[in-house]
Amino acid sequence: MGIHPTAIVDRHVQLDVDTEIGPYCVVNGDVRLGRGTVLHAHVVLQGPAVLGEDNQVFPFAVLGACPQVRLAPGLSGGILLGNGNVVREHVTVHGGTDGGTTRLGDDNLLMVGAHVGHDGVLGSHVTMANGVQLAGHVVVRDWVTFGGLSAVAQHVRVGESAFVAGGAMCERDIPPFVIVQGDRARVRALNVVGLRRRAVPEGSITALTAAFRKLFLGLMSRSEALRVVSRDDPYVARLVAVLEESYPRVAPPRVTQ
C-alpha cells in the first residue's frame, strides 16, 4: 500500500493491500479501495464509493461527484465499481440520486473524457471511446462498445453486444447484438464482429442473422415478425424478448417498416 505524501486522504478511507494513491489525489468520505487498485496522479474520488480489485484510475478523473440535477444538488448516493476497470484521463462518473448508486461491473474501459451520469448501470466488458456521454439512469448491458463522441439520452437501455457507432445520438432503446448509427440512431446491421470477438458460437450468429433479416429488413411489420421468428437459439430468444418488452421504444431500422 502506498500513499504519496502530496495526496489528501480522508481518515475514513479503507485501503486493501497493494493499493496506491498517487500525487495530488483527493480521496474523501466513505471510500473503500480493493486489492491492487491504483489511483494515478490528480484523481478526485468522493464517497460513498467502493472500488473493487485491480482498477486503474488515470489523472484528472473525477469519480463520485454529486449528480447533475436541479433537485437537491450536492447529495450523492455513491458509486460502485467492480474489478479490473480502466478509467482514463478526465473521465467523470457521478453518484446516484435519492440514495441510488451508479454501478459499473468488471473489465470496462472508459477512455478519455467519457461520462457516466447519475444512477447509471454499466455491465461488464463495456468499451466507451473518447468523449462518450451517458445521461442519468442509462442502463448498458455486457459487451457493448461505444464509438467516440456518441451519446445516450436519459433512461435509455443499450442491449448486450451492441455497437454504437461514433457520433450516434441514441434517444430510444438499442436492441442487443446490433449496430446503430446516426442522429437519431437507427439499427444498421448485426454486430457480427463483436459477436465473434465475444466467442459467440457460429451457429448462434447464423440464427441471429436470419432473425435480424426478418425483424429489421423484411417486408413484415415488427409485430408480425416477432410472431413468426424462431426462438430456438438462446441468443435469438434474448433478442426477441428485448424487442417484445421495449417495442415501440426501440430504435427503428435503417428503412422504416
Q: Which pLDDT tens digit goes with each residue over 112-132? A: 999 999 999 999 999 999 999
Could you tell me if residue 230 is inside a domain?
yes
Could you tell me if residue 43 is inside a domain?
yes
Q: How confident is the model at residue 255 (pLDDT cuts 50, 70, 90)?
A: low
Query: Mean pLDDT across the stretch 184-196?
Result: 97
30 carries an active-site annotation = no
Could you tell me if residue 129 is inside a domain?
yes
Work out the percent of the chain whose per-residue pLDDT is above 90.
Answer: 89
Among the listed residues 156, 208, 213, 220, the one whose alpha carbon sits nearest the alpha carbon of residue 184: 156
134 and 230 within one domain: no
What is the reported pLDDT for 141? 98
Residue 199 has pLDDT above 70, yes or no: yes
Could you tell me if residue 170 is inside a domain?
no
Could you tell me if residue 182 is inside a domain?
no
Q: Which of 77, 78, 100, 119 is catalytic?
A: 119
Residue 75 has pLDDT above 80, yes or no: no
131 and 16 within one domain: yes
**Residue whose C-alpha cell reads 471511446 in the numeric block:** 129
What is the reported pLDDT for 72? 61
What is the reported pLDDT for 159? 98
* CA–CA gap between residue 84 and residue 32 (Å, rounded): 15
Last residue of a domain, which of 122, 140, 158? Answer: 140
> pLDDT tens for residues 57-74?
999 999 999 999 987 655
Cis bond before residue 176 (omega within 30° of 0): no
The mean pLDDT value of the chain amounts to 95
Could you tell me if residue 165 is inside a domain?
no
Q: How many CB atoms lie within 10 A of CB 47?
A: 21
* CA–CA gap between residue 67 and residue 95 (Å, rounded): 6
Q: Which of 118, 137, 142, 194 is catalytic?
A: 118
| pTM of the model as a whole | 0.95
207 and 124 within one domain: no
Could you tell me if residue 31 is inside a domain?
yes
Domain count, the chain: 2
Residue 257 has pLDDT above 60, yes or no: no
* CA–CA gap between residue 233 and residue 8 (Å, rounded): 53
Instruction: Tell me whether strands 178-181 and 186-190 are parallel, antiparallel or unpaired.
Output: antiparallel
118 carries an active-site annotation = yes
* CA–CA gap between residue 217 and residue 225 (Å, rounded): 10
Q: Which of 95, 117, 123, 136 is catalytic?
A: 136
Q: Which residues contact 83 (CB under 8 A, 6 or more apart)?
A: 34, 52, 53, 54, 55, 106, 107
Range of the domain at 200: 195-246
We report the CATH number of the domain holding residue 206 as 1.20.1180
16 and 115 within one domain: yes
Q: How confident is the model at residue 248 (pLDDT cuts 50, 70, 90)?
A: confident
